[in-house]
Amino acid sequence: MSLLVCSSIGWISHSEGGFFNAIMSFPSNYPNSPPSVKFTSEIWHPNVYPDGRVCISILHPPGEDPNGYELASERWTPVHTVESIVLSIISMLSSPNDESPANVEAAKEWRDRRDDFKKKVSRCVRKSQEML
């Protein structure tokens, strides 16, 4: 399933006006296992791996977190819908979690060098606008 995430309100004002493409892929045993979401547009965010994979709790397999960072109740359950996933992604984009980052460099910039972070996000937004 293709998604187009439009950022009218984003994790910083510099993300406004961005159009970020993503793919949501469903495993054969869905809904018992979560889909995966991967941005195909360049995006700079603490909770998006450099290859575009989205890292949010509800997309992690059900059960206890082997690393102890998440409660089982925060992870995937079959009651989640495409809508709840998209809403979680929008929330993630609005409120980065730099405590458990997928992109460590983006998280460091978000915390320590906010101006550098904003410049990279602005570059991604401009690039996304050129792709339309």
Largest CA distance in the chain: 43
Residue pair 46/23 in contact (Cβ under 8 Å)? The answer is: no
Pairing verdict, β 36-39 and 18-25: antiparallel
Q: Which residues are catalytic?
A: 55
SS3 of residue 22 by DSSP = strand
Q: In angstroms, rounded to a whole number, what is the distance separating the alpha carbons of residues 24 and 12?
A: 24
